[in-house]
A and B are shown apart, each in its own frame.
Chain A
Amino acid sequence: MEGIVLALFVCLLLALVTKYLSVPPIPFYIIAGVVLGKSGLALVANDQISTFFSEMGLIFLLFFMGLGLKLERVAANRTAVLTSGIIDLNVNMLIGFVAAYMFGFSLIESAVIAAAFYISSTAMALTSLIENRKLMLREAETVIWLMMFEDLVLIVFLAIISAGNQNPLLLFLKIAGVLAVLYALAHWGKEFLISILDRDDELPIIFTFAAVLTTASFSMFLGVPETMMVIALGAAFATTDPDAFEQHARPFKDVFLVTFFVFFGVTIDFSGGVNLLMITVISGLAVLSKFISGIITGVVIHDSALAGIEIWGNTIGRGEFSIALASLYGSPLVATTIAAVVIVTSIVGSFTAKYCTNLRKGIMHVGRRKSSPRRAH
């Protein structure tokens, strides 16, 4: 218990500092966990309470993602979302997979690494667009839809990987069934849900917490992974009043998710040896591969490679979803590799998000200078 208090206190300080410097806090929570945990000072160890908190963190993260899904909006923007999304998916999955496989990971491990390598942090990308005042740029919309597409792909990944040795078709049917039931409940109970959410007392918060936990605990009974259950619940609730649910679930998500990140760091184990070369190469490739996919997307969607720099700069950071994949399916070595990718890319990404517009202007400027003598005639 003292461990978790110490960890939370450290995170509080880190949150203050990172907010002040406006850099993403996630890498620092993980580093704090590594320093406090068994690979570092060994002050904090995983116990039942921290495991429970971490699980809650993951569940609320995915519930939030479900709440944010706007399927009808994706359908309305199909061409743009699909084009950029598929470029992003193919380029990054391929590079991530090949790199991991070359370093000797098994096929499945390489697939997990590739998935974590591919998925950018939605939280970081959106925060950086807002904080760096880029919402009006044409590329901002592309980035927003890209994040939505990645969320959808993540759901497919989670379903595939968590299927284990279940019959995938059966699992798919079960998930569809759960989704249909939850949608029906949200549809027929919409007025009841909204009447609860509108109250000023503690009821909306208790209801939200209980609904998420109850749904998650049904997973054992139905044999549908709890990750799928809570995403489905979020998606169903999104048809009622998603903003109210976000507001009531946010305190749980914020606290539990911080615990999730820091204890992910705590459990990182360097005892198996760390291949620094591998970690450096994969992290470097993670920055490079988003550059490649960004430039291609820029050329295809905006007719401009320079637009690609903007897309690249805002999508480098890998974060919450990569860590989620690592903690759900990763062996210790996979987890360490993904942690390194997250730490490196999110720190690099916070700089590129701030300065890629300058970089872009610089390139344009150099380009103009080169061509101006010819134009002078």
Chain B
Amino acid sequence: MSFMALRSLNLPGVGTKYEFETDKGDTVAIFFTKTGMIQMYTLQKGCNAPSAAEMTPVEARRLGNILTGAIIEADQESVEIAFSALADLRITIHTFIIPKAIAGKTIEDLQIRAKTGATVIAVCRQDKNIVNPSPTFVFESGDAALVIGESDQLKKFEQEILVA
């Protein structure tokens, strides 16, 4: 498979431009402007007026996550990291919102690791982050839990821990 070259260009006073043409002849251009915003332009083949979207860095990262193939649900999202040097190891980090059903239980109570193989690596509670929570950590309803594992393990987590 061959990729069209990604061209990058530093435009004085404006920022950095990245542009490439897709296999089908459409053009995508991204500008990291000096204002801190990121603009994305797409130009359909045969058209002469591009359409544009301006994004904050956070929004741009979110778009990047979507494009790399991660699943995005309403307020849950995940990132898949592939380590191609380690026999194509694929690891996914997914956020889950803790439902009322398991509020008040600890990680130990729920036997998360034993049942699913996945690990809770962080919990975000009202804009406060708890990284590497201990087994005695007590969930509250509405917590956002960051869970790491293979996609099968995460599916299990969703079905057996959250729903149970």
Chain A contact residues, CB within 8 Å of chain B: 68-70, 73, 122, 126, 129-130, 133, 135-137, 141, 144, 147-148, 357, 361
Contacts and interface: CB of A to CB of B under 8 A. Distances in A.
Contacts of A141: 11
A73 B52 CA distance: 27
Interface of chain A, main secondary structure? helix
Contacts of A70: 10, 12
24 contacts: A68-B13, A70-B10, A70-B12, A73-B10, A73-B12, A126-B13, A126-B14, A130-B14, A130-B33, A130-B39, A133-B41, A135-B11, A135-B29, A135-B31, A135-B33, A136-B27, A136-B31, A136-B41, A136-B50, A136-B52, A147-B13, A148-B12, A148-B13, A357-B49
Residue among A68, A70, A136, A137 facing the most chain B CB atoms (10 A cut-off): A136
B136 interface: no
A122 B29 contact: no
A135 B14 contact: yes
A144 B10 contact: no
B54 to A, nearest CB: 7
A357 B52 CA distance: 14
Contacts of B31: 130, 135-136
B126 interface: no
B13 A122 contact: yes
A137 B37 CA distance: 18
Given A68-B12, A135-B33, 20 more contacts: A70-B10, A73-B12, A122-B13, A130-B14, A130-B37, A130-B39, A133-B39, A133-B41, A133-B54, A135-B14, A135-B39, A136-B31, A136-B41, A136-B43, A136-B50, A136-B52, A141-B11, A144-B12, A357-B49, A361-B49
A314 to B, nearest CB: 12
Contacts of A147: 13
A133 B29 CA distance: 12
B84 interface: no
Nearest to B37: A130
A136 B14 CA distance: 12
B2 interface: no
A135 B35 CA distance: 13
Most buried by A among B13, B29, B49, B52: B13
Contacts of A361: 49
Contact of A136 (B10, B29, B33, B35): B29
B17 interface: yes
A111 B10 CA distance: 34
Nearest to B28: A136
A144 B13 contact: yes
Interface centre among A69, A133, A141, A147 (most CB of B within 10 A): A133
Contact of A133 (B11, B27, B52): B52
Contacts of B13: 68, 122, 126, 144, 147-148
A253 to B, nearest CB: 14
Nearest to B12: A70
Contacts of A130: 14, 31, 33, 35, 37, 39
Contacts of A133: 39, 41, 52, 54
A122 B34 CA distance: 14
Contacts of A137: 50
B30 to A, nearest CB: 10
A36 to B, nearest CB: 30
Contacts of B41: 133, 135-136
Contacts of A357: 49
A361 B47 CA distance: 13
Contacts of B37: 130
Given A135-B41, A136-B41, A129 B14 contact: yes
